[in-house]
Structure 1
Amino acid sequence: MNDKKWNLQTIVLYGINSVIGSGIFLLPGSAYDHLGPASLLAYLFVFVLVMSIALCFAECGSMFEQSGGPYLYTKQAFGDFFGYEVGVMKWIVSIIAWATMAVGFSTALSALIPQIASPVLQKTIAIGIILTLSLVNLLGINIMAYLNNIATVAKLIPMAIFILGGIWYVEGSNYTPFIPADLTINSVSTAFIIVFFAFTGFENLGVAAGDMENPKRNVPLALIISMSFVSVVYFFVQFNCVGILGADLGGTKTPVADAMGRVWGSNGLLLVTLGTLISIGGLNIASSFNTPRCAQALAEGRLLPKFMMKNNKYNVPYISVLITGGLAILLTLTGSFAELAAISVISRFSQYIPTCIAVPVLRKKSFGHAGYKVPFGLLVPAIAVVASLWLLANADLYKLVTGLGAMVLVAPLYILMKKYSSVENSRP
């Protein structure tokens, strides 16, 4: 029994849901701390950088109908080993992120219901979220499409209210002086990095391409539409926060809540709390769908055991879903995410850089008949690679070392998997 595959509308909403999280309610203050009102320019500049990377993903995505995303593009361009490193790191970090977001949801919920603030109850709720979404996943992609669409629209409602309603309360004087007198190169680069990481998540779109209608057309189109939409939302959230709070935006840890509280009082604060809860809930839904597909794609490439690609009657990789959910629950029980999450920086760029470099390589191969082609020759991939290397060079050294260490640790597993795969293939 095959579910109907996701259409373009659902894929676009999935892209938006994968990027916009609770960070949008915290981001404006961090960006303002470093650039003041000129933080608005950071969004425009980062939009160019992010779109250069997203366009590379769009071209690579237009060449394939299979699931896998950056793992698949890297594997086809540079071979099994590099594909394995990208794919396994992606899967591991996605599991960590899901466990973190499940705990984050229970923490945000405790702000509304103080009675559940104890660590035991919060972990119980987090485990319940992972278990429930894993079981729902087993029922097919149709129900996941409904959940994704509802969650995405719901998380956009508070933002729409803030953007459309708050714009009437901005004060022009809060935008001057536009560029701070004490501006430094270091503050500019720090602000760009902060804003850049708020745009991450778009790389998930191609991971489940096999569950999408006409992925060669719809994946690249959804990438461009969703990232353009996210950029507009982010820009105007920052614009309103600067215009409403002015200098008070600097140093606040809850910028959107402060701005909405100033305009609408306690009702505004409640709206932000609900918006945060919905945003984190939406990310949990996206993660529960996307993360098992990372394992499925690796299994289809014989880089994880073959049984992990098995589907149930709803065409869902049920073993990958159950194993992924089980690992996320184990991480939730440990409760120590800081060290594990440190490898996420390397994981991001181990997807971005190979995908951008893969564009000219795949063009020369038989995969080069892309439905979408990045304009301006190799200029855009070159900008994307340089931007990625620059951001990587400015990342925290501890995170870089931890991430590289993780990549070294998983490398021997590649040899074991190749041997396991050859034994499996030799069986009658």
Structure 2
Amino acid sequence: MTTGVWQKLMRTKSADAEVSDGHGGELKRTLGLFPLVMLGVGATIGTGIFFAMGEAVPKAGPAVIWSFVLAGLAAALTALCYAELASSIPASGSAYSYTYVTIGEFVAYIVGACLLLEYALAASATSIGWSEYLNNFLKNSVGWEIPEALRSPLLVRGDTGLEMHWGHINLPPIILVCMCCFLLLRGARESATVNAVMVMIKIAILAFFSAVAFSAFKTSNFVPFNPFGLSSIDGAGNKMGIVAAAGTIFFSFIGLDTVATAGAEVKNPKRNVPLGIILALIIVVAAYIAVAVAAMGAQPASAFKGQEAGLAVILQNVLGAKWPAVLLSAGAVISVFSVTLVTIYGQTRILFAIGRDGLIPKVFQSVNSRTLAPVVNTVIVCVVVGLIGGFVDSAYLWDMVSMGTLVAFSLVSVGVIVMRYKAPNLERGFKLPFGPWVIPVLSVAVCLFIIKDLPVETYRVFFIWMTVVIVGYFLYGIRHSKLGQQGPS
């Protein structure tokens, strides 16, 4: 590789230039601290608790509680790194923008690709879960179920691998994404207000579930507590144990990154973005552990595998009545709406940031003159998310989301170290305790520890995606980079 190409790959923005971009009038600063925290909570609570228990508990048994703790530890360490970078680089684009300032253009492009993978698949997977709870709500409230052919995908993970179910489409996820698209096209303030209301309903519903589930708590459901150990492989070659389950549920902490994607639309971002990340994390971890313990205490670990609308079923079994399941399913329908809404919002803002830098076509950075929302960008994202949600089994999606999240989180943590040495005098609204090394290094170590137990097929798909992305960078991004046209800072 020539010196000239290497310089292009490693060119960086200055922090001042990135902040200036965030104030350039393309996006409007309308979000205060409360709606910002609600964005983070809205994008997080609902995914891991409402859906991932069915995927994670079979891998770890009752020790899934420690899986949530391990994933929460990794998220907490990374959240502190996010907080420091967000307090000094309050722009849209989240980890992408931070990496562009600290490490360089090519690595930032890779991080952006990880984030796009993470957000698109997370939005699709949560919209699929919404379909399950919607069907449960309709079945228990009005006695009608959505026909199987209209609530199951074309591509399904079967016992023998990929199966094609011709004539099937999961219609509810497509409808949900269309509703999210409508709201997002109206602008960030309106979307954030609707989200805040839905989040408050969600927290109330989960508090209700915990209270009821704890009333049926049985310590015998926790025996054996850790049947698969920290890390193991079963007879079919599947990775099992606490770490494997932590990898499956790690995607559920994606909301922390969503707070950072809103950096260009937040009032007083140097204070509110880091504070929003930390407050959202505290609320999320407390809720996850409380609900996980209550759910495990209310039914045996063996009952979670393949359980649709799991929390609603637990309530129905505990109380022997349909109305609690109806109430929780209604809450889940509202809750997952907010998760999908905010996740799509996050992806459009990352695409906006990458498009603004010229690394992808400029259509992704164009905004409506009245609403200041990135219209074409939003429509494209919603079409992709809706198609994946309508035709692909969610079992293929969760681990891929975790892979993208963990890689992006690791590079953000490295960025803190680089930034401390590159710009030691930069104004920071928040600084990591214990110096620039301890927390970032621990964050990277925990993320890598979780990554190692993700399934082999996840690595395969991730490699294919990265290959496509790198080819795209050398065919388009490296030649159209605005930083390359202006010269590096």
TM-score greater than 0.5 by the shorter chain: yes
- Counterpart Cα distance in 2 of 1:338 and 1:250: 15
**How large is the RMSD of aligned CA atoms in angstroms?**
3.2
- Counterpart Cα distance in 1 of 2:222 and 2:399: 37
- Counterpart Cα distance in 2 of 1:385 and 1:15: 22
Shift of 1:407: 0.8
Work out the percentage of aligned pairs sharing the same amino acid: 23
Give the corresponding residue for 2:358. 302
Q: Give CA deviations for 1:228-253 in whole Å, capped at 9, x if unaligned.
A: 11111111112222333357767573
- Counterpart Cα distance in 2 of 1:229 and 1:283: 15
Give the corresponding residue for 1:135. 182
Name the CA shift for 1:272/1:181 in 2 (closer, same or farther; >3 Å).
Answer: same
Name the CA shift for 1:119/1:216 in 2 (closer, same or farther; >3 Å).
Answer: farther
Q: Give CA deviations for 1:380-406 in whole Å, capped at 9, x if unaligned.
A: 111111111111111111111210221
Name the CA shift for 1:345/1:25 in 2 (closer, same or farther; >3 Å).
Answer: closer
Name the CA shift for 1:343/1:133 in 2 (closer, same or farther; >3 Å).
Answer: same
Give the counterpart of 1:392 among 422, 438, 451: 451
Give the corresponding residue for 2:467. 408
In 2, are the aligned partners of 1:56 and 1:356 still within 8 Å (CA)? yes
Pairs aligned (count): 425
Give the corresponding residue for 2:372. 315
Name the CA shift for 1:309/1:339 in 2 (closer, same or farther; >3 Å).
Answer: same
Say if 2:273 is the partner of 1:219: yes
TM-score by length of 1: 0.87
Give the corresponding residue for 1:91. 116
Name the CA shift for 1:405/1:275 in 2 (closer, same or farther; >3 Å).
Answer: same
Give the counterpart of 2:146 among 116, 128, 132: 116
- Counterpart Cα distance in 2 of 1:73 and 1:250: 39
In 1, are the aligned partners of 2:251 and 2:402 still within 8 Å (CA)? no
- Counterpart Cα distance in 2 of 1:304 and 1:332: 24
- Counterpart Cα distance in 2 of 1:130 and 1:45: 31
Give the corresponding residue for 1:203. 257
Shift of 1:190: 2.9
- Counterpart Cα distance in 2 of 1:422 and 1:181: 54
Which amino acid letter does the alignment assign opposite residue 210 of structure 1? A
- Counterpart Cα distance in 1 of 2:289 and 2:273: 24
DSSP-derived class of the 2:371 partner: coil
Give the corresponding residue for 1:364. 421
Written as runs of structure 1 = structure 2, the 5 A alignment for 1:2-401 is 5-28=30-53, 33=58, 37-113=62-138, 114=144, 116-117=146-147, 119=149, 123-171=170-218, 173-174=219-220, 179=225, 183=229, 185-186=231-232, 187-245=241-299, 253=307, 256-265=311-320, 266-312=322-368, 313-332=370-389, 335=392, 343-366=400-423, 368-377=426-435, 378-401=437-460
- Counterpart Cα distance in 2 of 1:354 and 1:181: 33
Q: Give CA deviations for 1:246-292 in whole Å, capped at 9, x if unaligned.
A: 57767573653344224322222223322332232121211232221
In 2, are the aligned partners of 1:37 and 1:179 still within 8 Å (CA)? yes
Q: Which runs of 5+ in 2 are unaligned?
A: 1-24, 139-143, 152-168, 233-240
TM-score by length of 2: 0.77
Shift of 1:221: 1.0
- Counterpart Cα distance in 2 of 1:81 and 1:291: 19
- Counterpart Cα distance in 1 of 2:422 and 2:319: 57
Larger helix fraction of residues: 1
Shift of 1:76: 1.1
Name the CA shift for 1:5/1:397 in 2 (closer, same or farther; >3 Å).
Answer: same
